[in-house]
Amino acid sequence: MSTKLRYLHHPASQPCRSARQFMVENGIEFEDEVVDITTNINETQEFRDTYNPTGQVPILVDGDFTVWENVAIGRYLNEKFECPGHWFGRTLRERSLINQYVQWYAYTLRLGGGAFHWTIFAPFIYGEDKDFTAERRKGYHVLYESLAVMEDYWLKDRDYVCGDEVSYADLAGFHEMVSHHAGKIIPDKVWDKHPRVTAWFERMAERPASKAVSEWQYNAVGAILAGELKVEFSRRTAVLKGTEAYGGHNHGIPHLGEADDYIAQVES
Ligand SMILES: N[C@@H](CCC(=O)N[C@@H](CS)C(=O)NCC(=O)O)C(=O)O
């Protein structure tokens, strides 16, 4: 008897959308369980003991086995359902390149999500009167550095980040960019400086599963930008952990105020 997979996620979360799109693209059935990360439900000891000690989503529960971390979820499902080889690579070299990308993205493009998080959600979490300049600068810095590597390396000679066919690496990268796109985080001038990234993003956005999985994010963030939605957060913590400018998310201390020519240079 097979148990139905449970997928614990939130549609605002980039890693959650990546693994979700993988399931949709591959026709994998799952029970959809939204974890309200605007509350502290995922920070309770019970949640951590039951699902994930980090308190983060996405989480996949397959009977008595639980997997967290979006790429690990993708790989688990890929093997379990013997998905087409392009998703995680057919050859040693293809697999290696995809591994390289997902390791790279986790430390760079993913943390560039801070540019989005500290612009769109942080005011609801910490208060609209707070100054997130330092956090945004950190986010933009790593985001712009990552865009340059995407443009000049990952997409240099190919349509997808690891080859001529779509792979899980594209899903991971794409959903970071969906948040930036929905939140109008990247100025047009910067998109224009990265024509390969722009073309790849548009190519990925055309996939029917991309539209379905991103819809919530575009609607919610569009409403926030239009001033029609205020998200109630009943907790005070960085949801996108690792993007804080200061340990402990302490907004009581002033930002360093260092001159940062890099951001100005990319946006010029
Ligand atoms: N490395 C994890 C990151 C997951 C992650 O950042 N999840 C965020 C949402 S985008 C989360 O659950 N935040 C809630 C919290 O930290 O309390 C992955 O790739 O799956």
Domains, the chain, in order of start with CATH, read 5-80 (3.40.30.10), 92-267 (1.20.1050.10)
User: What's the pLDDT tens digit per position in 45-54?
Assistant: 999 999 999 9
Q: Ligand 1 centroid vs 1 CA: distance in angstroms?
A: 32
Q: Using the predicted structure, report yes or no on whether residue 260 has a pLDDT greater than 80.
A: no
Q: Looking at residue 244, what is its pLDDT?
A: 85
User: What's the pLDDT tens digit per position in 168-223?
Assistant: 999 999 999 999 999 999 999 999 999 999 999 999 999 999 999 999 999 999 99
Q: Looking at residue 2, what is its pLDDT?
A: 60
Q: Looking at residue 235, what is its pLDDT?
A: 85
pTM for the predicted model, two decimal places:
0.94
Q: Ligand 1 centroid vs 69 CA: distance in angstroms?
A: 8
Q: Using the predicted structure, report yes or no on whether residue 248 has a pLDDT greater than 60.
A: no
Q: Name residues contacting ligand 1 (CB within 6 A).
A: 13-15, 37, 42-43, 55-58, 69-70, 239-241
Q: Looking at residue 208, what is its pLDDT?
A: 97
| Radius of gyration over every alpha carbon of the chain, rounded to an integer in angstroms | 18
CA distance 94 to 74: 16
| Residue nearest atom 18 in ligand 1 by C-alpha distance | 69
Which atom from ligand 1 is nearest to the alpha carbon of 113? 10
Q: Ligand 1 centroid vs 13 CA: distance in angstroms?
A: 7
Contact present, 106 and 168 (Cβ < 8 Å): no
